Amino acid sequence: MTETSPAGETAPLTYAAAGVDTQAGDRAVELMKDAVRATHTAGVVGGVGGFAGLVDVSDLKAYRRPLLATSTDGVGTKVAVAQAMDVHHTIGHDLVGMVVDDIVVVGARPLLMTDYIATGKVVPERVADIVRGIAEACALVGTPLLGGETAEHPGLLGEHEYDVAGAATGVVEADAVLGAERVRAGDVVVAMAASGLHSNGYSLVRKVFDVAGWGYERDVPELGRTLGEELLEPTRLYTPACLDLVGDGAVDVHAFSHVTGGGLAANLARVLPQGLVAEVDRSTWVVPPIFDLVRRLGQVPWNDLQNTLNLGVGMVAVVAPDSADATLAAVRARGIDAWVLGSVRQDDGIAGPDVVRGTKGVDGGAVHLVREYRTS
């Protein structure tokens, strides 16, 4: 019903009456700007609050043929867990991991990142927590958070609902681009351990625990913490380790694969050429407890689980055989567990439920998963 004055006239409407509080947005910026400034490198020009962020790329003159790499992503329904627990400072790490670690897959050095937050109601402290998390992660990967936007969408999102997205840009020398063209038979596949579920498959995970009646506050002995704490474990950031590997040329890296939606096999197949197959040994690592808990509690088939979740492998490097040991040492020096998953060979046309090929719209190579997963 239209609001009316005592005289029967329609009362004037304001932006605030429509549900948008611009002053709350300004307060959020004040709370977050120090964290954002802390990510700014010497190349950042100007400060926080401009219409556009500026970064000095004069050093690109040293490139023979610089290529810009770009990626954009969100963190999916993991935000629903953060909202339910009223814990918002970890989601930013997930966002940076999903975006910047895609950039490094082609061998690119990230130059900048931007973020976007849409919410039903701007609560300055909540928005600032989200952005502080993004800024913390950007600082860890040496990438300036150059700009962002917070949008209030009353009527579209609930008062306590929000979604986050981000985009990043990086640079790589044209003749240093990593990918399927470099992969050869005999190459070694090296795994880098995940920190947990990361930011994929949460629609399945949340459904399993919802059906089982498990609340996020539930203490789970096999996890060593509450369910909610486990589910909010931030995505591991692989950019520093990957840049170490390609930095001085001591390691002959041919490809990286960021294990996100679709699981290990589908994402590894994307960076293999036609005619080659990577044989991945599932018994080379122990699947972390959270994944097996989801499987057992929801009676989720292994095949569905491995096509949805990372199962403990967050990033993969495909390297020349004589670089395997150096790769393991470099990754472990960054505090990330690493091991040999398998190797690449000629594709003999093998088929079956354990063979994955032609994924994500890429007509590339294949992955053959062998042996069985270990859960202890």
DSSP 177-211: --SGGG--TT-EEEEEE-SSSTTS-HHHHHHHHHH
pLDDT tens track for 261-306? 999 999 999 999 999 999 999 999 999 999 999 999 999 999 999 9
**Residue 314: closest CA among 374, 369, 239, 249:** 239
- pLDDT of res. 45: 81
- Is the pLDDT at 109 greater than 80? The verdict is yes
When pLDDT is cut at 50, 70 and 90, the band that residue 339 belongs to is: very high
- pLDDT of res. 46: 74
Q: How far is residue 248's CA from residue 250's CA, in Å, rounded to a whole number?
A: 6
Helix (H) or strand (E) holding 208: helix 202-212
Beta carbons of 169 and 53 less than 8 angstroms apart: no
- pLDDT of res. 27: 65
The CATH T-level fold of domain 180-375 is Phosphoribosyl-aminoimidazole Synthetase; Chain A, domain 2 (3.90.650)
Name 173's bridge partners: 66
The CATH T-level fold of domain 21-55+63-173 is 60s Ribosomal Protein L30; Chain: A; (3.30.1330)
- Is the pLDDT at 3 greater than 60? The verdict is no
When pLDDT is cut at 50, 70 and 90, the band that residue 36 belongs to is: low
- Is the pLDDT at 1 greater than 50? The verdict is no
Domain ranges in the chain are 21-55+63-173, 180-375
Beta carbons of 198 and 263 less than 8 angstroms apart: no
- Is the pLDDT at 350 greater than 80? The verdict is yes
- Is the pLDDT at 2 greater than 50? The verdict is no
Q: How far is residue 58's CA from residue 214's CA, in Å, rounded to a whole number?
A: 54
Q: Is the pTM of this model over 0.85?
A: yes
**What mean pLDDT comes out for the span 189-218?**
98
**What mean pLDDT comes out for the span 84-95?**
96
